[in-house]
Structure 1
Amino acid sequence: MTELWRDPTASTDARVADLMPRMTLREKVSQLSGIWWLDPEAGGMAPMLRETLGPQPDWDELIEDGLGQLTRTFGTGPLAPREGLELLAQRQRDVVAANRFGIPAQAHEECLTGLAVWGATIYPSPLCWAATFDPPLVERMAGQIAASMRDLGVHQGLAPVLDVVRDARWGRVEETLGEDPFLVGLVGSAYVRGLESGGVVATLKHFLSYSASRAARNLAPVSAGPRELADVFLPPFEMALRAGARSVMNSYTDIDGVPAAADPELFTTLLRDQLGFEGTVAADYFSVAFLESLHRVAGDLGEAARLALEAGIDIELPSPKAYDEPLRAAVTEGQVDEKVVDRALSRVLRQKCELGLLDPGWAPPEPADVDLDRPESRAVALEVAQRSVVLLANDGVLPLRDGVRVAVVGPRADTPQAMQGCYAFPMHVLVHHPEVEDGVVIRTVREALADTYDISYELGCPVLGGDDADLAAAAATAAAADVCVVVLGDQAGLFGRGTSGEGCDVPDLRLPGRQEELLGALLETGTPVVAVLLVGRPYDVSAFAPRLAGLVCGFFPGEEGAQAIADVLSGRVNPSGRLPVSFPDAGSTQPWTYLSPTLARLTDVSSVDPTPLYPFGHGLSYACATWVSVSGTSGSRWDTDGTTAVEVELANDADRDVSEVVQVYLHDPVSSVVRPVQQLIGAVRVDLAPGERARVRLDLHADLTSLTGRDLVRVVEPGAVELRVGASSEDIRGVVALDLVGSSRQVGHDRVLEPTVSLRSQ
């Protein structure tokens, strides 16, 4: 008779309940960790990698009782798809043969800027996704990523990052979706839908408040009160969980002295009991062991395992350290209740069952020559890049005229690395394999502009360092040209090997190295200078911005980024990106986001002016939509349990396509607790052909005005509010004044999180 757990027609819960009692403690624990099988040259990817993992144990011993996950089979070294598929298939066959139940491992990979595998499409960075303000496009991109993962037999992707930027000096800003929780949630949810609709488990990172570390230092402690946690850091996760994410990853940091990986209030009370999450919680790499070695809240690895399991961490990644012999010994000795092992195991097995890994006859995909950089993928990468480029300033020099002589200079002008963030495969892995080519075609800005213009080129200076002679040579080249395009920015890297990226935190927001000197020398020539920023964070460009002929920001726009930049500079593409992060003015060492209350803005009681140079939501175009009208449709009354609507009519009076991002901000003049002066609660991108008109309507539920009150209960409060509707947080085109009428109303995690949007062309 077939055992129930092998029957694919039975319910998931029934199958898991039938399987678990059959397993020994060793078999149970073996399902709760992954294995990162490192090649000899892989140790440079992260500090303490070899030290934390220890010597590579015998493969057969590791898998003899089963295995939970296979860590980065493709993403650790430069493997061609067929080679990687052969390796994955062999490892899966080994795992299946080794354990009594024939259960395969769940395979995961990084996928922050596309699948982090040699030869796979490198999409723009998450800051670019957010700059598009285009969730359907991001969802389409994620669907392409999921298709590549599915072709390789990968079940889980470690993305998206939902950390809300609080201090731009933090190195991982490039991995985020910006400084506004609504935008982070809106775009992050789209990515989740795309990945999950392709059958791949999306993993939300990093729960919770990782980006609020003190002094913007990686892994530093977090000082955040419960209201900031609830109103800033949590909403993106709430939105993404509703979108169907099946995995969550913990933050490395501690909040007020309690490490996230050891906090049951976060992962059991909040995530499970209140938010109703039923998927798996995966430990960020090494974070269970860090409870002993870095946080010092565990005396040994057995205690670290107990703390993490009791908190709700189901899977230890990347390899077994605490969830191995230390955990088994702790259970045997009565220090860990086997029930918490069973709790984690049930979640792991449930997910494997959903993925078909418990079904009879399961087999890994056969080795094949898979195209991971298909034309349709490159087309989507180009579209995301084009719609993410932000035109910050323009005195009329842009778009560049036909026939102009262009001097192209700068440290980011002639290198493919300028297009890639720290989690792109060449930057993350291939830096340890310099003899290996990138695996995809990545053009440079110099090459892309040379298709259209007569160009001359000089480096000027590298990202860091340089000499006076090179600065002078760049200035001479600029002086001989009609216009100079200087491409500045960051070198993405990891743990101090770059100016942006994980572990590449900075003390201030001045451009790295001698780049400001280079810019000053170019401006002195009298030639109009257009600066292109390819950066992982916003920088203080206030010292030179007023003297520039134009300023363009591309963040890290991926393998098609140079083409997108050239398309915008030439005018083939009408720029339409909008800033997901504010660009600071002078005084950039002051942490600031637009989510600031009155006393965090310019006041008479402080000498520091935090007003941004370019505000959240800002972005210019060569041709813009005409704002015809902004109106409310429901009168001035807004019931505290009801909806109101805002309508915006737009027209395109230009002779080319235009795109506008309608942004709706809530202003609450009087509240029971201090609130931001304004906060985004709705946004929609509207594309218009020449002569086209459209009316966009946003139906907004009163839940979108809710706040966490003094008693830490979320409520909708009655009173006067304003809906400020505009093209950026500072470019407001209309105000709808409303009175929230009714009693104060408590709301929970089932509240409405997004407006309903409808668009009608005319």
Structure 2
Amino acid sequence: MTEPWRDVTVPVEERVADLVARMDVAEKIAQLSSVWGVDPDVGEMAPMLRDGLGPMPAWSDLIAGGLGQLTRPFGTDPVGAADGMRALARRQRDVVAANRFGIPAQVHEESLTGLNAWRATIYPSPLCWAASFDPALVERMGAQIATTMRSLGIHQGLAPVLDVVRDHRWGRVEESLGEDPFLAGLVGAAYVRGLEGGGVVATLKHFVGYSASRAARNHAPVSMGPRELADVMLPPFEMALRAGARSVMNSYTDTDGVPAAADPALLTTLLRDELGFSGTVVSDYFSIAFLRTLHRVADTDGEAARLALEAGIDVELPSVNVYGGPLVDAVAAGAVDEKTVDRAVFRVLVQKCQLGLLDPGWAPAEPAEVDLDPPEARALARDLARRSVVLMANDGTLPLAAGSRIAVVGPRADTDEAMLGCYSFPMHVLAHYDDVETGLTIPTVREALADAFEVSYALGCPVLGGTDADIAAAVAAATDADVCVAVLGDQAGLFGNGTSGEGCDVATLDLPGRQEELLEALLATGTPVVAVLLVGRPYDLSRQVSRLAGVVCGFFPGEEGAQAIADVLAGRVNPSGRLPVSFPGSGSTQPSTYLAPVLGQHSEVSVVDPTPLFPFGHGLSYAAATWGEVSAPADPSWDTEGTCEVSVVLANEADREVSEVVQVYLHDRSSSVVRPVQQLVGAARVDLAPGERARVRFGLHADLTSFTGRDLVRIVEPGQVELRVGASSADLRAVLPLELAGSTRQVGADRVLEPSIVVEPA
């Protein structure tokens, strides 16, 4: 008779319950562990990874009795697809043979800019996803990434990052989806739908509050009240969970003294009891051990294991440290209840069952030649890069006139690294391999512009450092040109090996190194200067912007980024990206985002003016849509349980395609707690062919006006509000006054999180 857990006709939870009942404690705990390689030296990628954690056991010891996850078999070393599949299949067969139930490991990889593997497509960074304001395109990207991952035998991707930016000095701004929770949720949920729809588990990072660390320092403590957590940090996770994400990763930080990895109020009460999450919680790398070594809330590894397991962390990543022998000993000593282990292993095995890893006849994917950067993926990367380029300023110099002599200068002008964020494979892994090529064709801005223009080149200065002679050479090149394109920005890296990326926080938002000095020298030539920013965060350009002929921002636009930048500069593409982060005004005052109350904005009670130079949602085009009627219902009464429809008519009177991003902001004129002056509640990208007209309709449920009240309960509150409709948070085309009518209404996790949007011919 077939054991129930092996019978695919039996419901998943019954199969898993039967299996768990057959396992001993050591076998259960083995399913909560992971292994990063066999005997890997992972210390190069980040500091403190093995500090104080002891030597790694032998491979056979690590998998004895089973294994929960295999960590990054493709994303640790430059291994070809077929060789990686061969090695992974061998490891999986070892794992299956090492446990009496024949359960394979779940395999995870980083997937922030595509699969983080050698020669795999490098898509634009998440800031670019957000700048595109195009969730449908992001969903297509997620689906393509899933196709690649599944072909290699990978089950889980560690993305998206849903941390809402509160201070742009934080190094991981480049990994985020910007400073607005609605936009982050809208785009993050689209990525989740794509990845999960392709059969790969999406992992939401980092639950929750990571990006609000003091002074924007990585891993630093967080001082944040429950209202900010609920109204700013949490909504993107809620939207992505509703999109079907099956895994969540904890934050490294502590909030008010309690580390997230040891906080049952976050990982169980909030995440599971209130939000209804039923998937797995995986630890951020080494964060359980950090409870002892860094947070120092545990004296022993066993105590760290107890705290994390009771809080709700199911799987320890990336390698077993405390969810191994220390946890086995803690259960044996009675310090950890076996029922707590059962809770975690049940979740882990349910997910494995969903992935088919418990099915009879399962076998690992066999070696095959897989194209990790197929033409359809490159085309998708190019489309997303083009949609994400933001034209921030233009005096008419752009697009560049045909036949112009262009001086292309600057530290990011002639390097493919300028296109890549810190979680791309070349910057994350190949930085440790001097003799290994990227394995991809990644043009530089200089190369892309040389296809259409007469181009001269000078470095000017590296990202950091440089010489007077190099700056003088750039000045000479600019002097002899019709237009100077100054390509400035960041070097992505990890833990101090760059100016942007994990552990690469900054004290100010001045351009790194001597780049501002270079820019001033170029401006002094009298040649029109267009600044192209390839950056991981916004920088202060307030001292130069009035003298610049144009400003274009690409963030880290991926392998097709240079072509997208060149297409915009040459006018082949009508720029249509919008800023997901504000660019600071004079003085780089931080922390400051557009989500500020009255006293967080410029006022007479302080001489410090946080008004941004370029506001959230800003972006120019060479040809823009013509705005027509913006209308709301004739009756200004909006029931606190009802829906308000707002419509906007757009027309394209130009001779080329235009793309507009219609943005709807909520302004609450008076409320029971202090609220932002305005916040995004709706956005729609509308593409129009020449002569085309369209009407976009937003169905805005009153739930979208909800906030956390004085008693920390989320409510919809009656009163006077405005819907501000425009092309950015500062470029408002209509203000629609409305009255939320009815009684105060409590709402919860099942509330409406997004408006309905219909685009139709007008």
Inter-partner Cα distance in structure 1 for 2:219 and 2:393: 35
Cα shift at 1:434: 1.3
| 2:612 aligned residue | 612
Give the secondary-structure state (helix, strand or coil) at the position aligned to 2:51. helix
Code of the residue aligned with 2:202 in structure 1: it is A
Code of the residue aligned with 1:318 in structure 2: it is P
What is the identity percentage for the equivalent residue pairs of Structure 1 and Structure 2?
Answer: 74
Code of the residue aligned with 1:751 in structure 2: it is R
> For 1:209-608, what aligned pairs fall within 5 Å after superposition?
209-608=209-608
- Residues 14 and 41 (structure 1), Cα distance of their counterparts in 2 relative to 1, 3 Å cut: closer
| 2:664 aligned residue | 664
Residues 560-596 of structure 1: per-residue CA shift (max 9 Å, x gap): 0000000000000000000000000012142100000
Q: Is the 8 A contact 1:128 1:554 kept in 2?
A: yes
Cα shift at 1:52: 5.3
Code of the residue aligned with 2:414 in structure 1: it is D
Inter-partner Cα distance in structure 2 for 1:633 and 1:146: 43
Q: Is the 8 A contact 2:698 2:757 kept in 1?
A: yes
Code of the residue aligned with 2:214 in structure 1: it is R
| 2:694 aligned residue | 694
Q: Is the 8 A contact 2:39 2:58 kept in 1?
A: no
Q: Is the 8 A contact 1:633 1:647 kept in 2?
A: no
Q: Is the 8 A contact 2:52 2:293 kept in 1?
A: no
Code of the residue aligned with 1:276 in structure 2: it is G
Q: Is the 8 A contact 1:634 1:644 kept in 2?
A: no
For the aligned residue pairs, the C-alpha RMSD in angstroms reads 0.8
- Residues 20 and 196 (structure 1), Cα distance of their counterparts in 2 relative to 1, 3 Å cut: same
Code of the residue aligned with 2:367 in structure 1: it is P
Give the secondary-structure state (helix, strand or coil) at the position aligned to 2:486. strand
Cα shift at 1:629: 1.2
Q: Is the 8 A contact 1:507 1:589 kept in 2?
A: no
Pair 1:186-2:171 in alignment = no
Pair 1:66-2:27 in alignment = no
| 2:126 aligned residue | 126
Residues 640-670 of structure 1: per-residue CA shift (max 9 Å, x gap): 0000000000000000000000000000010
Q: Is the 8 A contact 1:634 1:645 kept in 2?
A: no
> For 1:707-726, what aligned pairs fall within 5 Å after superposition?
707-726=707-726
Inter-partner Cα distance in structure 2 for 1:566 and 1:330: 60
| 2:9 aligned residue | 9
Q: Is the 8 A contact 1:205 1:250 kept in 2?
A: yes
Q: Is the 8 A contact 1:38 1:76 kept in 2?
A: no
TM-score (ref. length: structure 2):
0.99
Divergent runs of 4+, >2 A:
38-43, 49-56
Inter-partner Cα distance in structure 2 for 1:244 and 1:54: 38
Residues 497-533 of structure 1: per-residue CA shift (max 9 Å, x gap): 0000000000000000000010011011110000000
TM-score (ref. length: structure 1):
0.99
- Residues 40 and 717 (structure 1), Cα distance of their counterparts in 2 relative to 1, 3 Å cut: closer
Inter-partner Cα distance in structure 2 for 1:513 and 1:38: 40
Inter-partner Cα distance in structure 2 for 1:603 and 1:660: 32
Inter-partner Cα distance in structure 1 for 2:82 and 2:285: 27
Inter-partner Cα distance in structure 2 for 1:587 and 1:245: 40
Code of the residue aligned with 2:242 in structure 1: it is R
- Residues 45 and 525 (structure 1), Cα distance of their counterparts in 2 relative to 1, 3 Å cut: same
Pair 1:117-2:107 in alignment = no
Inter-partner Cα distance in structure 2 for 1:9 and 1:401: 67
Cα shift at 1:634: 5.2
Inter-partner Cα distance in structure 2 for 1:454 and 1:25: 70
Inter-partner Cα distance in structure 2 for 1:526 and 1:657: 34
- Residues 129 and 83 (structure 1), Cα distance of their counterparts in 2 relative to 1, 3 Å cut: same
Inter-partner Cα distance in structure 2 for 1:635 and 1:450: 58
Q: Which structure 1 segments of 5+ residues have no match?
A: none
| 2:204 aligned residue | 204
Code of the residue aligned with 1:314 in structure 2: it is D
Code of the residue aligned with 1:213 in structure 2: it is S
Residues 158-184 of structure 1: per-residue CA shift (max 9 Å, x gap): 000000000000000000000000000
Cα shift at 1:49: 2.5
Cα shift at 1:194: 0.2
Inter-partner Cα distance in structure 2 for 1:602 and 1:262: 39
Cα shift at 1:42: 4.2
Cα shift at 1:43: 2.8
Give the secondary-structure state (helix, strand or coil) at the position aligned to 1:51. coil
Inter-partner Cα distance in structure 2 for 1:511 and 1:173: 15
Code of the residue aligned with 1:362 in structure 2: it is W
- Residues 334 and 107 (structure 1), Cα distance of their counterparts in 2 relative to 1, 3 Å cut: same
Cα shift at 1:38: 5.8
Q: Is the 8 A contact 1:398 1:550 kept in 2?
A: yes
- Residues 637 and 71 (structure 1), Cα distance of their counterparts in 2 relative to 1, 3 Å cut: same
Cα shift at 1:440: 1.0
Inter-partner Cα distance in structure 2 for 1:87 and 1:9: 32
Code of the residue aligned with 1:322 in structure 2: it is V
| 1:174 aligned residue | 174
Q: Is the 8 A contact 2:589 2:610 kept in 1?
A: no
Inter-partner Cα distance in structure 2 for 1:39 and 1:494: 22
Inter-partner Cα distance in structure 2 for 1:316 and 1:64: 16
Cα shift at 1:633: 2.8
Tell me how many residue pairs correspond in the alignment.
762
